[in-house]
Amino acid sequence: MAAYADRAGLRAFVFVPAGKVAAGKLSQSIEYGATVVEIEGNFDDAMRIVRQVAAETDVYLLNSINPFRLEGQKAIAIELLEQFEWEPPSWIALPGGNLGNCSAFGKALREMFDLGFISRMPRLAVIQAEGAAPFYNLFSSPNRSTLEPVPHPATLATAIRIGNPVSWKKALRAIEWTDGVVERVSEQEIADAKAIIGRDGIGCEPASAAALAGVKRLVETGTIEPEESVVVVLTGNLLKDPDYTVGYHAGRLRVGDEADTREVLGRFANRPIRAAADVEVLKRLLSERS
Amino acid sequence: MAAYADRAGLRAFVFVPAGKVAAGKLSQSIEYGATVVEIEGNFDDAMRIVRQVAAETDVYLLNSINPFRLEGQKAIAIELLEQFEWEPPSWIALPGGNLGNCSAFGKALREMFDLGFISRMPRLAVIQAEGAAPFYNLFSSPNRSTLEPVPHPATLATAIRIGNPVSWKKALRAIEWTDGVVERVSEQEIADAKAIIGRDGIGCEPASAAALAGVKRLVETGTIEPEESVVVVLTGNLLKDPDYTVGYHAGRLRVGDEADTREVLGRFANRPIRAAADVEVLKRLLSERS
């Protein structure tokens, strides 16, 4: 948004919850010329303030509450189906925060089905972090009538640290259209899944890893069957949140000279290449530096 | 390297000067499964230790001193020429640190010329930071016989914070083959150029911005003529070093409620979109957090 606004000669404001946005994302908004405004409070506080101010002024709101934004996000699902030659996978798994992606995917799949591009709907699996799981709670409630906000959402996956998702109604409709499910995963499961995605040479931000962690859980509980095909959408690059990775590993191996270096090489040469992250260590390190 | 090694089942070691590598790069190496070893000292100390240890052990060194690495880097220049339909630009500008890119570009251009793909050589412009400019000093010396290392290289552009570049002989040959030049730029010029590249919706790491800053200086001094065409190679993505950008802007605008937010919107709505970074502020903030 910042980059395109600047190209068009428009002023861009980016409102973020103070101290709760990953460094990579912040650096891009700033670098592309946006005026970045930090709002005291969490994502939901920022969302509330921005909605109110946008309603009173001539600021155009481009958060995913804006339906045109969802129209754009639909392209992810449509291109995915195209790459599958319109033979959809059994499941598509997404991380769930503000629920814009879930809403956009639901709309795209429904439209592709109604237009005859696909002959069956893939099932959506939306995965939330345990500490920020209002949509999971709604999905698990008997009548699914009203989303109960989580007042203090807590997860190291900053992109889904959201307690009061604006798109929950559209997202719930998407789940119903696609016979979808909502799952939640722990911080440890997110960190472990992130390590696996990294070891595969791809890498992603923590929120994206939640989707893979959720798939693992859904396979274990029998919701996803062994023969079914699953696409996991990684919504953010590893480089958006380097601190999550570096924080955990900070100061792990340090050498001063050739002798030290030879010793380290010898010591590690035959070890298993890498253990998954210990999320308690990660939490402590990240809280120390923030 | 880390990603490919892991895919091949090989153990990767990444040696870095402790505390002197941008967070994004560090996070990728770690995430892809490499064993990251921090060496006390600067890049040149690390280079010396690693060369010695590699000579004594069965570790295969993949730094740009490895000629196969330069063969790979040649592809940047060859693809560039192909995109220009073999009608080369007047100049190609590159940042200069360990001088692997300069060496690889020189070899690629020479080979493309000798093979008849291009009928004239573009001129190379290699740009160094003032605080780490041994190659500039060599280029400016009367007989260009021996590179004098800079013992304490200093620049916020971590990718070119190198005082004793391993590839200086190959790079000097490349400069001679192409009738090239070497220029140096200040930290302020790097920061200003980085802001311009960001405002263009691209974004890069500081070392890459040095190349644009150098072009500006070469135009001002008349080395590059107004009608000449110039390609600037941006060697690293903005997201490799988010701290450089975020460090400068940290805590700039903070609001607590709707009234604050409206006030900020009003105050900034008609200002020029963004001033270039003040490098003194940047230095102070980065040193405070390191």
Of A39, A268, A273, the CB nearest to B6: A273
Contact call for A264 and B37, based on CB within 8 A? yes
Distance from C-alpha of A251 to C-alpha of A281, rounded to nearest angstrom = 13
State residue B253's pLDDT score: 72
Output DSSP code: residue A191: H
- Name the pTM for this structure: 0.85
Enumerate the H helices of chain A as residue ranges: 2-7, 23-31, 43-56, 67-83, 100-114, 134-140, 168-177, 187-199, 206-220, 242-249, 258-268, 279-289
Please report, as a single letter, which amino acid is at residue B205.
E
The DSSP bridge pattern shows strands B181-185 and A91-95 to be: unpaired
Confidence of residue A237 (pLDDT cuts 50, 70, 90): very high
What are the chain A neighbours of B290 within 8 Å (beta carbons)?
none
Whether residue A275 is predicted with pLDDT greater than 50 in this model: the reply is no
State residue A248's pLDDT score: 65
Minimum mean pLDDT among A148-162, B31-45, B88-102: which range? B31-45
The DSSP bridge pattern shows strands B13-17 and A254-255 to be: unpaired
Contact call for B31 and A254, based on CB within 8 A? no
- CA A122 to chain B, closest CA, distance in angstroms equals 30
- CA A92 to chain B, closest CA, distance in angstroms equals 24
What are the chain B neighbours of A36 within 8 Å (beta carbons)?
249, 252-253
What are the chain B neighbours of A240 within 8 Å (beta carbons)?
239
Q: pLDDT tens digits, residue range A180-235?
A: 999 999 999 999 999 889 888 889 999 999 999 999 999 999 999 989 999 999 99
Give DSSP secondary structure letters for B10-69.
---EEEEETT-S-HHHHHHHHHTT-EEEEESS-HHHHHHHHHHHHHHSSPPP-STTSHHH
Summary mean pLDDT of chain B: 89
Distance from C-alpha of A98 to C-alpha of B83, rounded to nearest angstrom = 41
Q: pLDDT tens digits, residue range A245-260?
A: 887 665 567 787 888 8
Q: Pull the structure tokens for residue A222.
A: 């029998």
| DSSP H or E stretch at residue B128 | strand B123-129
Sort A152 into a burial class: Cβ within 10 Å, 0-12 / 13-18 / 19+.
exposed
State residue B64's pLDDT score: 86
Among chain A residues, CA nearest to B36: A253
Distance from C-alpha of A285 to C-alpha of A238, rounded to nearest angstrom = 18
- CA B106 to chain A, closest CA, distance in angstroms equals 31
Q: Which of A2, A59, A62 is nearest to A36 (CA)?
A: A2
Among chain A residues, CA nearest to B195: A31
Mutate to test the interface with A, among B14, B15, B30, B47 (most CBs of A within 10 A): B30
Q: pLDDT tens digits, residue range A17-40?
A: 888 888 888 899 988 888 888 888
Q: Which of A131, A134, A139 is nearest to A157 (CA)?
A: A131
Q: Is the ipTM of this complex over 0.90?
A: no
Greater confidence, B22 or A167?
A: A167
Q: Report the residue count for chain A.
A: 290
Q: Pull the structure tokens for residue B256.
A: 């607590």
Of B40, B203, B240, the CB nearest to A32: B203
Contact call for A239 and B237, based on CB within 8 A? yes
